[in-house]
């Protein structure tokens, strides 16, 4: 039923349950890798290249909120929760950048990001907020509206790929970048780059979004009758149920997961086993906790990524998790 769908994903260790759903449980959707991450998938959804995206919470919610700020329809909604645990973002610089020893040395330095709006971009604001580097005078009121603009806490260098990010901190095109710890670790081990810090997302790390054409337009969780019938069209519902099966297989076949991650995704067995101890996938990927979305918007607003005033959270979420559970 899901054979005509195209699912965008990041080809890292977190994609293992998706691979198992495809291999073992007849998830017939086309799986399209996006190594440059969530920001690229936002563009792909809006251009009709993919129908479903599995990416980082902050990237999806920032994009949805910014479209509301601009009074535009993003063309997609949050439909599911993929990973319950937070993500550890490792903060890296060039191996020979002796002047950069810790996060304290990064104020005003150039951050490398995959794309504007990506997780690597959004988390630079969260990092700046955590360290008090978002100067209140940089928040400029707009006299023609209730919205505000925030000066970037760091100069930004858009570099698209993880390989480019690693090169940039060694050539001094950028001073630092942020990427998931276990994906970055092998490059610490081989001496290509060095770690100077880390930061965890203040929210569960991965969400699933779907293009609006996969949703019943007048039957979202906030609309009439949402508790009685699913706002998800059958082909989307089918794909999510098969991803559930992939998650269950992942949990019950950890050795198969280790072998896939270490052979096909180029992580060491040691790192794969260490990662397994840190991650918890959703038992049922359908539905999103409204409180998580609300808290994410609050933090992104505080960090100056979006203007949270007047954001309608119901417009971001196709089905809340409590409503999804009623239909299981």
pLDDT of residue 303: 77
Q: Which CATH class is domain 88-200?
A: alpha beta
Instruction: Give CATH 3.40.190.10 domain extents, the chain.
Output: 6-86+205-326, 88-200
Phi then psi for residue 169, to 5 deg, are -75, -20
- CA nearest to 231, candidates 99, 140, 158, 324: 324
Q: Which CATH class is domain 6-86+205-326?
A: alpha beta
Model confidence pLDDT, tens digit, residues 18-41: 999 999 999 999 999 998 889 899
Q: What is the mean pLDDT of residues 150-167?
A: 90
pTM of the model: 0.85
Helix ranges restricted to H, the chain:
16-24, 38-46, 57-69, 119-130, 162-171, 181-189, 234-252, 254-264, 269-276, 290-302, 321-326
pLDDT of residue 146: 39
SS3 label, residue 141? strand
> What is the arrangement of strands in the sheet containing 6-9, beginning at the earlier edge strand?
30-33, 6-9, 52-56, 206-211, 76-83
**Is residue 144 pLDDT above 60, yes or no?**
no
Q: How far apart are CA 124 and CA 72, in angstroms?
A: 25
Provide the strand spans (E) within 57-147.
76-83, 88-94, 111-113, 139-141
> What confidence tier does 6 reach under pLDDT thresholds 50, 70, 90?
very high
């Amino acid at each position: 039923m899901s054979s005509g769908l195209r699912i965008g994903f990041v080809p890292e260790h977190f994609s293992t349950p998706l691979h198992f759903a495809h291999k073992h449980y007849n998830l017939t959707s086309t799986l399209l890798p996006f190594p440059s991450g969530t920001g690229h998938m936002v563009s792909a959804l809006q251009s009709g290249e993919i129908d479903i995206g599995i990416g980082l919470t902050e990237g999806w919610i920032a994009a949805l909120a910014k479209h509301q700020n601009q009074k535009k329809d993003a063309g997609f909604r949050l439909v599911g929760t993929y990973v319950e645990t937070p993500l550890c973002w490792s903060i890296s610089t060039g191996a020979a950048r002796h002047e950069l020893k810790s996060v304290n040395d990064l104020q005003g330095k150039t951050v490398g990001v995959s794309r504007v709006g990506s997780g690597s971009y959004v988390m630079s604001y969260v990092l700046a907020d955590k360290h008090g580097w978002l100067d209140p005078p940089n928040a400029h009121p707009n006299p023609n509206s209730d919205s505000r603009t925030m000066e970037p806490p760091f100069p930004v260098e858009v570099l698209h790929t993880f390989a480019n990010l690693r090169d940039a901190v060694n050539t001094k095109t950028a001073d630092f970048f942020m990427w998931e710890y276990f994906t970055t670790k092998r490059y610490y081990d081989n001496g290509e780059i060095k770690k100077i810090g880390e930061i965890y997302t203040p929210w569960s790390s991965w969400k699933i979004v779907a293009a609006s054409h996969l949703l019943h337009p007048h039957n979202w969780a906030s609309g009439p009758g949402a508790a009685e019938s699913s706002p998800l069209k059958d082909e989307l519902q089918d794909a999510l149920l098969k991803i559930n099966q992939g998650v269950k297989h992942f949990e019950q076949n950890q050795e198969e997961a280790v072998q896939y991650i270490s052979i096909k995704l180029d992580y060491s067995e040691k790192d794969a086993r260490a990662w397994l101890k840190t991650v918890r996938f959703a038992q049922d990927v359908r539905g999103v906790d409204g409180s998580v979305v609300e808290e994410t918007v609050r933090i992104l607003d505080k960090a100056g990524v979006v203007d949270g005033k007047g954001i309608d959270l119901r417009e971001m979420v196709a089905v809340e998790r409590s409503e999804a559970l009623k239909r299981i």
